[in-house]
Structure 1
C-alpha cells in the first residue's frame, strides 16, 4: 500500500484490492479459497506457490494453465468433489425424473458426477443446457469425456475465481 502523491494534495494510502489480499494471504488461507474454486490439491498448490499475481488476467491465465495440466488422478480428485447442477426452482417433476435418469446413466458410464459450466445462462436456459449436454456427452467414449470434463472444470474454476475477485470473499 504505497501512498499516492499528488502535487498540492495530502497523500492518501491506496486501499488493497481483493487480488492484493489474495496475494498476501497466508498460504493455507489462499489454498482453501482456491480449493473452493476447483477441488484439486495440485491445482490449488500450484496457484498458491505462484503468488503474487500482478493482475487478475495473470491469475486467470495461471488458473487455466494449471487446469490444462491436471493429470488423470488430479482430475478424478476434482470430479469426486463436484456436485451436480441443480434444477431451477419450479422445474416440473418430469424434468427431475429425466435429469435423475440421465445423471444415473452418466455416472454408471463414466464413474463420476456430470459437470457443466452454466455461467452466463438464465435459469430457464440452464435446464435445457444440462439435459442437452448430458445426452450428447453420454455418446462420448471415456477418454473423450475426460477431456470434456476437464474443460468444464477449467471453466468452472475460472468463473468461481472471477466471482471471488468481484468481492464474494477472496
Structure 2
C-alpha cells in the first residue's frame, strides 16, 4: 500500500526513529561553516519563519549542540503573531504509515476541518518520542482536545508545538549527512 496524504493540513513531523543517535561534532562544524544561503534554506525547512531562520543563522558559530538548540528555542519563543502565522502557513501535508484504515482518514479529516474553521490555521503537533503505531491516535486526540481551547490559548499551544517541531527537525538535519542539506519534505523511513 502506498502511503497517502492526509486530507487537510495537519503538520506531523517524520515519525520518530526507535533509536536516536546524537549528532556528530562534524555536523555542528558543517552547520557553523555552511554558506548563509544554504543554512537559511535548511533552517526554513525546520520552521517556516524567516525571522527564526535569520536569528539562528546570524548567531553562528555555536560552541555545541545544546547551545544551538537553546538558541532555536529562544528564537521560537520570541516569534511575533505574524511570524507564527507564517510558520503555520508553511506546514505541509504528511504521509501516514501504511496500513492506516480509511475510517481514520475520515475522522482526521472531520477533526481537522473543525480545527481550521475555528482557528484559521493548520493543526501542528510534535510526535517526537512516540511510537509510530500511536501517532494517529495521538493526533486525533490532540485535535479534539485542542478544539476546546479559545483562540489565544491555542495560539500559545500551536507556538509551543512549532518550537518542538523546529527543534526535532533541526536535530534530524544534524543527524543526517552532516551537511545540513537534507529536506524534511522527503519521506522518512517507516512512512
TM-score by length of 1: 0.88
The verdict on how the C-alpha distance between 1:145 and 1:85 changes in structure 2, with shifts beyond 3 A counting, is farther
Report how many residues are paired: 156
In structure 1, stretches of 5+ residues that fail to align are 1-14
Structure with the larger helix share: 1
* Structure 1 ranges of 4+ moved more than 2 A: 83-88
- The answer as to 2:133 corresponding to 1:124 is yes
Tell me, in whole angstroms, the C-alpha distance in 1 between the residues paired with 2:93 and 2:154. 16
Please identify, of 24-33 and 59-68, the stretch whose mean Cα deviation from structure 2 is larger: 24-33
Alpha-carbon distance, 1:83 to partner: 2.3
**Counterpart of 1:17 in 2: which secondary structure?**
helix
Alpha-carbon distance, 1:167 to partner: 2.0
In structure 2, stretches of 5+ residues that fail to align are 1-23, 181-191
Tell me, in whole angstroms, the C-alpha distance in 1 between the residues paired with 2:93 and 2:111. 11
Higher relative contact order (CA 8 A, sep 6+): 2
Tell me, in whole angstroms, the C-alpha distance in 1 between the residues paired with 2:109 and 2:132. 18
Tell me, in whole angstroms, the C-alpha distance in 1 between the residues paired with 2:96 and 2:173. 23
Please identify, of 114-123 and 80-89, the stretch whose mean Cα deviation from structure 2 is larger: 80-89
Structure 2 counterparts to residues 1-170 of structure 1, below 5 A: 17-168=26-177, 169-170=179-180
CA contact (8 A) 1:64 1:158 kept: yes
Tell me, in whole angstroms, the C-alpha distance in 2 between the residues paired with 1:95 and 1:46. 39
The verdict on how the C-alpha distance between 1:120 and 1:16 changes in structure 2, with shifts beyond 3 A counting, is closer
TM-score by length of 2: 0.78
Please identify, of 72-81 and 19-28, the stretch whose mean Cα deviation from structure 2 is larger: 19-28
